[in-house]
Amino acid sequence: MKFLPAKFLKNTIIILFFAIISIEISPKDFNFQILDLTKEIEDLNSPKNEDHTWWVTSSEVDPVAYTKYLLTKKMEKDSPDNGWKPALVPGNPIGEKIVSVEVNSLWYLKVFYVKEIPTEDQILYLKRISDRDLTYLNGVLIGKTGEWDSDKAQGYDKSRLYKIPKESFNINAPNVLLVRVQKYFRDSVGIWGENVFLGGSQSIQRDYYISILKPMFFLICYFTVGAYFVFLFLRRRKERENLFFGFFAIGFVCYQLLRSQWRFEFSYSYYAFKKTEYAILILLFPSLYLFFRYYFVKREKKFITYLHYINLISILLQFLFFCFILFTSNIDLWNDILNQVLIPFLWPPLFISIFTLVIYNAFFLKDIDAKIMFAGWLILMGGILNDILIHLEFIRFERITEYSFFIFILSLAFILSNRFVRVHVEVEDLNLNLEKKVIHRTTELQTALTKVNQLKLSQDGDYFLTYLLLEPLSVKAVDSPNIKVEFLISQKKKFTFNKNNHEIGGDTCIAHTVSLQGRRVTIFLNADAMGKSMQGAGGVLVLNSIFESIVKRTNMVGSFADQSPQSWLVNAFIELHNVFLMFEGSMMISLNMGIIDDSAGKLIYINAEHPPIVLFRDEKASFLPFPEVNCKLGSPLMEEKIFTNSFTLADKDVLLLGSDGRDDILLPDGEINDDFDLFLAHVENAKTDLKNIHKEILKIGELYDDLSLIRIEYIRGGLHEKI
């Protein structure tokens, strides 16, 4: 018996060693999360089932030593040592009774596997931590936020983005993530409020900046609306509801800006931002209530008046809290005022009063404005209630106030603007003689209508003359037993002249049978001229005239008929291009133009920025492969070399050529179709029948542009010769 080679024994021992290690710390022993960092973003949140993947402890942990310990020692699934307890992320371990309220700092632990080495550096996206943190991966500090043991808040609402070099991960082995957290608020600590992600640098940064840029659209709208109504108040001082609405909208914009992550891009005092944020928040709801009260003040009943006097006490108290915040610097105290006084006691009466005002005017006085307000108010209250429950840590969900507020403020802006316009129009009508105005306006409309009809008749006459010029130039003169050609043209511009319906546009189709070097060939062209109606028709008129002259010259002059198909095609293309080049870019043409040898089935064609040709073979539709594309006719960017394409047709093959009208379909949702493979499905469903293809397109939506189609069927017969 031969001994096994030493190299084989060495490799076997290594494999067995790693197999033993993998058994010792396999993912199922400690609820490891297996990550695929080749994806853009991975979710690190706690799962909804009981298989927790985050642990928390209030004991002291040495991140370097403990990481080495975890990577070399088996961990029990349900009770790891060092006092670790399962925890929810995001969540508040104090509120969830996992740790004592007396705990000042704690550690989070998460162990995960990485399948493959990522293609780029990763970013750990810890959205919010209360209040400061030190974050380690495999014993290495990857990021920190805040000054440790400071008596001031450091960043409990700041998103953390910690970059991790891709070489830092253990591949197909455990990775240990340790996060040390120190609290500021007495009853809140940990990774809370929003989700945690790990992903590629580009993806995470893109999501981060989108998340802070997206609200800017809403804030610009709010500020514009608010400034507009403040301006209305300055012009009409009696309408105080405009002032309170404008103040509320602008205040909300300032509040949202102060809450956004943009403030961390500046070096200003964190406390200055937070003080302004809390102060503005206290003034928002009183201004909202005053807007509703003064909007309906002329129709309020006595009980509403008494309710208003009670609310004035609440507003006065909130103003005192506003002044208190301006002269103190204890965020913990501000937070207690918000959570223990404003939200449970002072804001509900304002909400109830607003609700009462809207309900009374909407359903008792049948005010249409109040009904619109009621719908917007319900949407806003749903968003506010959701965010309050999130703030109080009763639920874990995304904040939606910005969206509900957008709907609400638009409804109010619409109502106020409509009322202003309505009052203005009523005043003007009272100052004018309505009967004379109606008679005068009717006369003007009749005169204008007569002029429009005259212009329409003249325009249709011009269209008809252009149609008469175009009609004989769209030629189908194919005389070959091997080639069968069909056209379908549906121009966007349709008109009626002398009770007959016609259409003109920028699409055209031409096909001829000619003889080149003694062989019968079929020449075809499908083109789309730039512009709509008359402009496109003018381009087609020039194109068809020149192309027909080239065909006539080929039939009459022997030197032109002696050219090879490729030379004829290139020379014809250059001649057409030189003509349209004189338009200096104001008229360009996209096209597919080609020649088919009738007996051999050899196809040579030129594509000039036109939709690709479709081949229908064996009941399947596909695009002809890898076409070389030239610039449009008349383009100043045209290269000196003209690219041609070739393809050999089989028996019963069908070619479908079409303009971009085959893809430009206006969908029912108002969008333009961008699926260019959709035309292939139309061809297969219609079995290449042009009329049925047209019907298939119209099933999807409306034509957005001119549509032209050519169907060319090749039937092999006769001698099989090469071009």
Domain 472-714 has what CATH class?
Answer: alpha beta
**Each residue of 423-457: pLDDT tens digit?**
667 666 666 666 666 677 777 788 777 777 777 77
CB proximity list for 171: less than 8 A, separation 6 or greater: 114, 115, 116, 117
DSSP one-letter code for 101: T
List pLDDT tens digits, range 384-425.
788 777 766 677 666 777 778 778 777 877 787 777 777 667
- Rounded Cα gap, residues 427 and 637, in angstroms: 61
Q: Single out the residue of 556, 634, 633, 648 nearest to residue 601, CA to CA.
A: 648
CA distances from 479 to 373, 471, 476, 485 (A): 73, 20, 9, 10
Is 58 a residue whose pLDDT tops 60? Answer: yes
Listed residue (213, 241, 160, 174) closest to 33, CA to CA: 174
The pLDDT assigned to 163 comes to 94
The amino acid occupying position 568 is W
**Domain 24-206 shares a fold with domain 472-714:** no
**CA dist., res. 468 & res. 488, Å (int):** 18
Closest CA to 490 of 689, 711, 703: 703
d(CA 71, CA 57): 19
Rounded to an integer, the average pLDDT of 334-361 is 86
Handedness of CA 681, 685, 691, 694 (dihedral sign): negative
pLDDT for 431 equals: 65
Asked whether the beta carbons of 566 and 619 are under 8 A apart, the reply is no
Cα angle value 625/628/630 (rounded, 5°): 145
Percentage, residues of the chain above pLDDT 70: 89
How would you list the strands of the sheet with 654-658, edge to edge?
A: 483-490, 707-714, 654-658, 614-617, 620-623
Residue with tokens 């409020």, as numbered in its chain: 193
Q: In the numeric block, which tokens belong to residue 66?
A: 């403990």
Highest-confidence range of 287-301, 415-429, 509-523, 524-538, by mean pLDDT? 509-523
pLDDT average, residue stretch 42-51? 76
Can you tell me the mean pLDDT for 44-67?
Answer: 84
Task: Write the Ramachandran bin of 301: left for phi over 0, alpha for psi from -120 to 50, otherwise beta.
Answer: beta
The whole-number pLDDT of residue 107 equals: 94
The answer to whether 570 touches 593, Cβ cutoff 8 Å, is no
Q: Whose CA is closest to 590, among 654, 521, 528, 671?
A: 528
- Region 355-378: mean pLDDT is 84
Using CA atoms, how far apart are residues 628 and 605, in angstroms rounded to an integer?
A: 10
DSSP 297: G
Q: Would strands 602-608 and 629-630 be described as parallel, antiparallel, or unpaired?
A: parallel
Q: How far apart are CA 79 and CA 85, in angstroms?
A: 7
Can you tell me whether residue 274 is helix, strand or coil?
Answer: helix
- The lowest-confidence range among 68-77, 375-384, 508-517, 682-691 is 68-77
Answer yes or no: are the C-beta atoms of 583 and 642 closer than 8 Å.
Answer: no
* Residue 723 banded pLDDT, cuts 50, 70, 90: very low
Residue labelled with tokens 């090879």: 564
Closest CA to 485 of 514, 510, 518: 510
Q: Which residue has the tokens 């008129």?
A: 541
Higher pLDDT, 664 or 264: 664
Q: Confidence band (pLDDT; 50, 70, 90) for 353? A: confident
Distances (CA, A) of 195 to 91, 96, 120, 188, 387: 10, 17, 22, 17, 15
Per-residue pLDDT at 483: 93
Domain 24-206 part of CATH 2.60.120.260: yes
User: Which pLDDT belongs to residue 2?
Assistant: 38
Distance CA 164, CA 142 (A): 7
CB-CB contact of 194 with 90 (8 Å): yes
Q: Which of 196-205, 263-272, 657-666 is predicted least confidently?
A: 263-272
Question: What are the backbone angles phi and psi of residue 222, rounded to the nearest 5°?
Answer: -60, -45
21-31 pLDDT, tens digit per residue, is: 333 333 344 56
Q: How confident is the model at residue 564 (pLDDT cuts 50, 70, 90)?
A: very high
Q: What pLDDT digit, counting tens, does each position of 613-657 carry?
A: 999 999 999 999 878 899 999 898 888 889 999 999 999 999 999
User: Is 696 in contact with 686 (CB distance < 8 Å)?
Assistant: yes
Token digits of residue 374 = 């009621």
Span 121-128, mean pLDDT? 89
Which stretch of DSSP H or E encloses residue 64? helix 63-72
Q: What is the pLDDT of residue 10?
A: 42
> 332 or 656: whose pLDDT is higher?
656
Radius of gyration (Cα) for the chain, nearest Å?
38
Would you state the structure tokens that stand for residue 267, as one six-digit string?
């070096």
- What is the sign, positive or negative, of the torsion defined by CA atoms of 190, 194, 200, 206? negative
Which pLDDT does position 327 carry in this prediction?
Answer: 87
Q: Where are the domains of the chain?
A: 24-206, 218-430, 472-714
Residue 186 one-letter amino acid:
R
Contact call for residues 122 and 200 (beta carbons, < 8 A): yes
| Residues in contact with 569: Cβ distance below 8 Å, sequence separation at least 6, in sequence order | 593, 594, 595, 604, 605, 606, 644
Cβ partners under 8 Å of residue 150, min gap 6: 132
Residue 719 — very low, low, confident or very high, per pLDDT cuts 50/70/90? very low
What pLDDT was estimated at residue 81? Answer: 64
**What is the predicted pLDDT for the residue at 280?**
92
| pLDDT-based confidence at residue 48 (cuts at 50, 70, 90) | low
Higher pLDDT, 578 or 10: 578
